[in-house]
A and B are shown apart, each in its own frame.
Chain A
Amino acid sequence: MKTTNVTLVLLASITAGVALAHSGATGVVKERMDGMAAMQKAVKAVTPIMRGQVEYDADAVRSFAAAVEMHSGEAMTKLFPEGTGGKPSEAKDQVWSDWEEFESLAMNLETLGKTLSEAANNGLAVQASGGTSGSMMGTGNMMGSGTMMGGNSAMGGMMGQSSDGMMDADMLASMPADMLFTRISQTCSACHSKYRLESN
Chain B
Amino acid sequence: MRRLFLGTGAIAVSAAIGFVVLTVWPIGATPSPELANLTGDVNRGAYLARASGCIACHTNPEGGAPLAGGVELDTPFGTVYSPNLTTDPEQGIGNWTVEQFAVAVRQGISPAGEPYYPAFTYSFYADFTDQEVADLWAAFQTLPAVETPSRAPEMAFPFNQRAGLKLWRALFQFDPLTEPVEGKSDSWNRGKWLVEGATHCAACHTTRNLLGGRKVATAKFAGSDMLPGGGKAPPIDTTSLVQEGWDAGSLAYALKTGITPSGDAFGNAMGEVVLFGTQFLSTEDLDAMAEYLMDQP
Contact = CB atoms under 8 A, between A and B. Distances in A.
A71 B67 CA distance: 35
Interface stretch (A4-12, A112-120, A183-191): A183-191
Interface stretch (B8-16, B21-29, B40-48, B101-109): B40-48
B285 A136 contact: yes
A3 interface: no
A191 B262 CA distance: 18
Interface residues of A, number: 45
A189 B274 contact: yes
A142 B280 contact: yes
Given A51-B249, A158-B55, A189-B274, A131 B284 contact: yes
Interface in B111-153: 139-140, 142-144
B196 interface: no
Contact of B258 (A45, A135, A142, A186): A186
Interface stretch (B72-80, B157-165, B176-184, B265-273): B265-273
A44 B265 CA distance: 10
Contacts of B47: 136-137, 142-143
B67 A148 contact: yes
A148 B138 CA distance: 10
Contacts, number: 133
Given A44-B262, A129-B249, A196 B284 contact: no
Contact of B267 (A45, A146, A196): A196
Contacts of A23: none
Most B Cβ at <10 Å: residue of A47, A189, A196:
A189
Interface in A129-161: 129-133, 135-139, 141-143, 146-149, 155, 157-161
Interface in B41-76: 42-44, 46-47, 49-50, 55, 59, 61, 66-67
B274 A158 contact: no
A157 B61 CA distance: 12
Contacts of B249: 51, 53, 129
B267 A148 contact: no
A51 B55 CA distance: 28
Contacts of A78: none
A198 interface: yes
A147 to B, nearest CB: 4
The binding surface of chain B is classed by DSSP as helix
Q: Is the interface of A mostly helix, strand, loop or mixed?
A: helix
B289 to A, nearest CB: 12
A189 B271 contact: yes
B89 interface: no
Contact of A130 (B263, B265, B274, B287): B287
A124 interface: no
A198 B231 contact: yes
A148 B280 CA distance: 12
Contact of B283 (A131, A143, A158): A131
A67 B113 CA distance: 56
A113 B43 CA distance: 33
Given A143-B46, A147-B143, 5 more contacts: A129-B253, A131-B283, A139-B281, A182-B257, A198-B231
- 6 closest Cβ pairs, A-B complex: A44-B263, A192-B267, A189-B258, A193-B271, A188-B265, A147-B142
5 contacts: A44-B263, A131-B284, A136-B282, A142-B46, A160-B276
